[in-house]
């Protein structure tokens, strides 16, 4: 078992969380790489912070930045009429993710830190495998499939990953929307709206349980808000495919390093 690195906000760490928030928002809101996932890879995978601290801070940052980036996507025409018509199905996705996120974040908040950190790499590898299997759909015309079970299953999966490792929600929700027959650009653009209910609860649970550092969350949020206008302009299909492939490879590398660290012991 490995204990997380204690979070102490110094001038250097303030800058680090700010830059991480900017990079995470840029990659998520334009390429669907996942805000929480990018932040998690840097702050948990590389620096060793507690995934619950990162999950809470990332959730709060995305709650604050979701509506501004959604407005930018709408103004730039990144959200299609078909996506707006599918909002009822997306509401089912959001509901399933909310239930899973609330339940698992409540459980995770009470677990020993060593257990949470040790399970991080296993969950990361599982997510990387799923993304690798589904990433080919990014470059294809969307093929609609049965809607109800797809929305519920992927919604619960996205909520679970947000609660447990702090990221993965965006990648999962975009894959789900592709399965539902939505075009990639619209799927990426509307994802911030789908996130909101679950992310409010994740941020609340980790705040009340004492895992959230407000200064760290503020820095992530400021970075995200600065990146929002640029992200909306960068939304392009080919870049999303490349970003997802690079992210999947990074997830595997980080997970293997974390597993090696756990096996090596303290």
Kindly report, residue by residue over 177-221, the tens digit of the pLDDT.
777 777 667 777 778 888 888 889 888 999 998 888 889 899 999
Q: How many CB atoms lie within 10 A of CB 264?
A: 8
pLDDT band at residue 236 under the 50/70/90 scheme: low
Mean pLDDT value across residues 29-56: 82
Total-model pTM: 0.74
Of all residues in the chain, what percent carry a pLDDT higher than 70? Answer: 77
Cβ contact 224:65 at 8 Å: yes
3 within domain boundaries: no
Place of tokens 């998520």: 28
152 within domain boundaries: yes
4 within domain boundaries: no
Give DSSP secondary structure letters for 173-224.
HHHHHHHTT--HHHHHHHHHHHHHHHHHHHHHHHHHTT---HHHHHHHHHHH
How confident is the model at residue 75, as a pLDDT? 81
3-state secondary structure 146-161: CHHHHHHHHHHHHHHH
**64-94 pLDDT per residue, tens:** 988 888 888 778 777 777 676 667 777 888 8
Cβ contact 182:142 at 8 Å: yes
How confident is the model at residue 17, as a pLDDT? 93
2 within domain boundaries: no
How confident is the model at residue 219, as a pLDDT? 93
pLDDT band at residue 222 under the 50/70/90 scheme: very high
135 within domain boundaries: yes
Dist. CA 207–CA 199, nearest whole Å: 12
Burial of 16 (0-12, 13-18, 19+ CB in 10 A): middle
- How many degrees, rounded to 5, is the angle at CA 186 between CA 162 and CA 203? 25
Q: Dig out the tokens for 105 from the structure.
A: 């974040």
Total tally of structural domains belonging to the chain: 1
Range of the domain at 157: 11-264
Q: Residue 49's beta-bridge partner residues?
A: 5
Place of tokens 């759909």: 137
**91-104 pLDDT per residue, tens:** 888 888 889 988 98
114 within domain boundaries: yes
Dist. CA 136–CA 247, nearest whole Å: 14
Select the more confidently predicted residue: 245 or 97.
Answer: 97
How confident is the model at residue 112, as a pLDDT? 85
- Is the pLDDT at 138 greater than 60, yes or no? no
Select the more confidently predicted residue: 228 or 186.
Answer: 228
Q: How many CB atoms lie within 10 A of CB 12?
A: 8
pLDDT band at residue 1 under the 50/70/90 scheme: very low
């Amino acid at each position: 078992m490995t204990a997380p690195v204690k979070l102490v906000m110094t001038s250097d760490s303030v800058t680090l969380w700010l830059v991480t928030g900017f990079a995470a928002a840029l990659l998520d809101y334009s390429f669907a790489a996942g805000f929480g996932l990018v932040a998690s890879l840097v702050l948990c995978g590389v620096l060793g912070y507690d995934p619950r601290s990162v999950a809470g801070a990332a959730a709060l940052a995305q709650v604050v930045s979701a509506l501004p980036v959604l407005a930018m996507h709408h103004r730039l025409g990144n959200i299609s009429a078909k996506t707006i018509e599918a909002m009822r199905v997306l509401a089912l996705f959001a509901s399933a993710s909310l239930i899973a996120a609330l339940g698992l974040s409540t459980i995770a908040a009470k677990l020993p830190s060593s257990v949470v950190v040790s399970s991080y790499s296993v969950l990361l590898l599982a997510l990387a495998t799923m993304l690798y299997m589904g990433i080919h759909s990014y470059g294809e015309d969307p093929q609609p499939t049965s809607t109800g079970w797809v929305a519920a299953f992927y919604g619960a999966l996205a909520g679970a990953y947000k609660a447990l490792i702090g990221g993965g929600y965006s990648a999962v929700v975009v894959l789900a929307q592709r399965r539902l027959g939505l075009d990639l650009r619209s799927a990426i653009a509307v994802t911030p709206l789908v996130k909101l209910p679950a992310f409010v609860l994740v941020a609340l649970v980790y705040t009340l349980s004492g895992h959230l550092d407000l200064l760290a969350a503020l820095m992530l949020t400021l970075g995200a808000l600065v990146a929002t206008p640029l992200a909306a302009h960068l939304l392009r299909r080919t870049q999303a495919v490349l970003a997802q492939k690079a992210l999947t490879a990074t997830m595997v590398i980080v997970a293997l390093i974390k597993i090696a660290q756990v096996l090596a012991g303290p």
